[in-house]
Amino acid sequence: MTGTASFSLDELTACRAYLDVAVAHLRALESEEARLRAEFDALAAAIEEKKLEIGRNLSRIDACDARIEQIRRHGERAADEALDEEMEEAALGARMRNRGAA
């Protein structure tokens, strides 16, 4: 089929049959590629959604940590105030006992 040999109808038919098979194979591969690309895109979107979800959860964790620290400080202040009050009451009681004894 280079122009130097005589034309053969059988060769042309064989070339067309080969071309038909090659085109069918190409279409099958393109279809598979499209299916895989769609699957990949869906998975990439799911990964992005999970990244956003993780980011939101990390923000919530940070907010909870801050609230826990705030509650801990409040508890420490309340405990310190209670201890101060007990010490004042004990000192006042001791003074009153000393006055009564004197």
pLDDT tens digits, residue range 63-93? Answer: 999 999 999 999 999 999 999 999 999 888 8
Pair 11, 1: CB distance under 8 Å: yes
Amino acid at 5: A
Distance CA 32, CA 26 (A): 10
E-state strands within the chain: none
Q: Is this prediction's pTM over 0.85? A: no
Give residue for tokens 């085109």: 23
Residue 98 has pLDDT above 70, yes or no: yes
